[in-house]
Copies of this chain bind each other. A is one copy, B any other.
Amino acid sequence: MPARIEDVAAHAGVSTKTVSRVLNGHPSVRAKLRVRIEASIRALNYVPNPAARGLAGNRSYLVALLYDNPAVGSSYIMELIVGVLQACKGTPYNAVLHPFEATDDLAAQIDNFVATHRPDALVLVPPHANNIKLLQRLDELDMRYATISSKLREPRIDIGFDERKAAADIVEHLISLGHRRIAHIAGLKGHGARTWRLNGYRDALRKAGIPYDESLVLEGDFTFAAGAAGARTLLSRRRPPTAIFTANDDMACGVMREAYERGLAIPDDLSVCGFDDTPVSQLISPGVTTVHQPCREIGRLAVESVLQSIRDPALRLQARVPYEMQLRASTAAPGKP
């Protein structure tokens, strides 16, 4: 049988309440006592029982990651999870995953999840991070939550990176290589990732004095198929683009598939850029020029801050973590027209 708080208290010659104060980092314990108690904890190999703590303190020590079905960007979620787990490490908190679709009975789904598992905090990934009804419901339930890359005006706690700037960087890279007819396959409406990346694309064109050509911008839904379909359209034009920038890596792969089918060489006949730096962008040949989205860092920060907000409900934070361009072999100067 493992040691209980009572054993520690007896060992240190104090009350259980004082031990509890030490465990919970309560300041009103004299340093000397604290040290003695900590020694007893180690000596007895004491680890608090989460269920008992949870019951008495009305907590679950669970942080839930809410995401939509993993069909889209499972490696994105996986990277996020790595960061989430890092943040939980060494804390009594556990991360739990909760994939769900935003249907009509969303409030009911959330109520049910919260009632069943009673997470202490939530981390919301797009598109849920943009779902006003969902966030309202969470506010009503007085749940602590952090959003990731939310496009809402004033997110309470939100972690992301400057996607607009990153998209502009990548398009500037294409321009610097000599491209002028640069197409963009944008993301799905409703995602911040669509608007920011599209705006970044336009920013870079404007800065270079290249007129915006609506016909070079297509809509995608972040899937391989959408990338392939977009490329099919673009490459069938009388004057096809010399470069295609897609709003994520999977769509870039789709573009490369279409180029492959047509016998076009990348980057000689067509330059391709993705976004996110998911593993596939390194595995495919040639490697895809893309922006490394700092998912782990984002996941870590989201959990760290949402846990902090449990203690400090007034906490507000809108963090933008640094990103990095990944120049690979899928981009080069345009060939002769």
- Residue ranges of A at the interface with B (Cβ–Cβ < 8 Å): 2, 45, 47, 49-52, 54-55, 59-60, 62, 70, 74-75, 77-79, 81-82, 85, 92, 94-99, 115-118, 224, 250, 253-254, 256-257, 259-261, 279-280, 282-286
- Complex partner residue of A116 from B47, B96, B250, B259, CB under 8 angstroms: B47
Complex CA distance for A81 and B50, rounded to whole angstroms:
24
Q: A51-B60, A55-B49, A97-B85 given as contacts; is B283 within 8 A of A253 (CB)? A: yes
* CB nearest neighbor in B for A74: B78
Residues of B within 8 Å of A50, CB to CB, are 51, 54, 60, 116-118
* CB nearest neighbor in B for A283: B253
**Do B81 and A49 touch (CB < 8 A)?**
no
**Do B283 and A284 touch (CB < 8 A)?**
yes
> How near does chain B come to A232, taking the closest CB pair, in angstroms?
14
Q: A54-B54, A75-B75, A77-B78 given as contacts; is B279 within 8 A of A49 (CB)? A: no
**Do B49 and A118 touch (CB < 8 A)?**
yes
User: How many of these chains are in the complex?
Assistant: 2
**Do B51 and A55 touch (CB < 8 A)?**
yes
* CB nearest neighbor in B for A70: B82
With A92-B116, A257-B285 given, can you name 7 additional A-B contacts, CB distance below 8 Å?
A51-B118, A77-B78, A95-B96, A96-B96, A224-B282, A256-B285, A261-B285
7 interchain residue pairs of minimum CB distance: A51-B54, A260-B285, A253-B283, A51-B55, A47-B115, A257-B285, A94-B96
Residues of B within 8 Å of A282, CB to CB, are 224
Complex CA distance for A49 and B49, rounded to whole angstroms:
16
Complex CA distance for A92 and B254, rounded to whole angstroms:
41
**Do A284 and B279 touch (CB < 8 A)?**
no
Complex CA distance for A117 and B256, rounded to whole angstroms:
46
> How near does chain B come to A328, taking the closest CB pair, in angstroms?
11
* CB nearest neighbor in B for A97: B85
Complex CA distance for A96 and B63, rounded to whole angstroms:
10
- Complex partner residue of A97 from B81, B250, B284, CB under 8 angstroms: B81
> How near does chain B come to A279, taking the closest CB pair, in angstroms?
7
> How near does chain B come to A140, taking the closest CB pair, in angstroms?
15
Complex CA distance for A257 and B280, rounded to whole angstroms:
12
> How near does chain B come to A61, taking the closest CB pair, in angstroms?
9
**Do A224 and B283 touch (CB < 8 A)?**
yes
Residues of B within 8 Å of A47, CB to CB, are 115-116
Complex CA distance for A261 and B59, rounded to whole angstroms:
56
**Do B250 and A283 touch (CB < 8 A)?**
yes
Complex CA distance for A5 and B322, rounded to whole angstroms:
50
> How near does chain B come to A212, taking the closest CB pair, in angstroms?
30
Complex CA distance for A50 and B261, rounded to whole angstroms:
55
Residues of B within 8 Å of A2, CB to CB, are 115
Complex CA distance for A44 and B279, rounded to whole angstroms:
48
> How near does chain B come to A48, taking the closest CB pair, in angstroms?
9
**24 residue pairs A–B, Cβ–Cβ below 8 Å:** A49-B55, A50-B51, A51-B54, A51-B118, A52-B55, A54-B55, A74-B79, A75-B75, A75-B78, A77-B78, A78-B78, A92-B116, A94-B94, A94-B117, A95-B96, A96-B96, A97-B97, A250-B283, A253-B283, A253-B284, A253-B285, A261-B285, A280-B284, A283-B284
